[in-house]
Structure 1
Amino acid sequence: TEPETEPPKPFTERLADLQNYTGTAVVVDENSHLDEESTARFQNTLQALSDSYEICTALVITDHLSGIEPERFAEKYYRALFNGADGFLMLVNNDTGTDLCYTAGAVTVEGTDMRIAQATPHLVEKDYPAAIDILLPAGEDILIAPPTEAPELPETELPDTAE
């Protein structure tokens, strides 16, 4: 039989625990699926992407979505960590099995659906390091839209108000 696990904290408490995070890259493994070496390796990968592209990056592995849709869970988690700054969060969802890459701001990640399909067999086998090696985007897969420039306005003469 499976060992009994403690029920997760309510989602609002889990988010509150993240409010004081000040970094730009983080691995959150809520149920300790990764060993220390893998956690450190993925943390270094995320930090390198964060530093290179000046974005925020996160990997979240959870066994409990607390009844929230995966997309909404990832969005709320990302906002709690990074307050909506440009970046991405890769969600490994052991609750409903819907893994995804949430992106914020001007960031998109190419090939995410293909990567998730390739990683799924590893996730089923609980080989998290192999799956995450596939899931985390390589730098060239991260696309950042150029900043939008304000349109140039025609010069207008101000009326002379001096009397």
Structure 2
Amino acid sequence: MAYLKKYFSIFSLFILLFVACSSDSNSNEDVANAKGVITLSGEETSILGNSLNVANAVEGLYQTGTGKSVTLLHKSIGVDSNGEINPTEASFTNSFIIVTAQFESGDNASVHKAISMTIIKNGEEYLFTCTAIEGENVDDDCGSNFLVDQENKRVVFDNTTVINTDSGKVLTMDGIITW
């Protein structure tokens, strides 16, 4: 379990390195069961499969250091009443953690949107990321229709692109997750 928590922490730190937020008054944690399927397309779907079924969503500072984040989890990764992620033995074989964030201009963030994702398939980890810097068009910018909408409790993946940090291959994500 410490192994999965270690990687979650690394990816959370990755987002924070790019975000560099100042203070955030949203310290309220929100843990909920989530509903939705993310459809995957791209070269690596032959390994990863064509979909991710999201079972839990966690909002807030506890997991990532910013209240502007939402963490989406596979069904084998539970969340306790304190907001702590509790992977099961099964999560080390097949699971995923997706950390999403979206910032407004007043948030003093160095990025506008970010995704950090770990997919574990047959015990092997696949790491993906994207960052969108306001006003810049780069290959790993997440796509223009990616939305983290905490007010309406949803994350929208609409032709959202992430890049495998090892292979450089692009994975496209589509779906709406609600909680």
Highest RCO, 1 vs 2 (Cα 8 Å, sep ≥ 6) = 2
Q: Which TM-score bucket, shorter chain as reference? A: 0.3 to 0.5
Give 1 or 2 for the bigger CA radius of gyration.
1
Q: Which has the higher helix share?
A: 1
With normalisation by structure 2, the TM-score equals 0.32
Q: Which has the higher strand share?
A: 2
With normalisation by structure 1, the TM-score equals 0.33
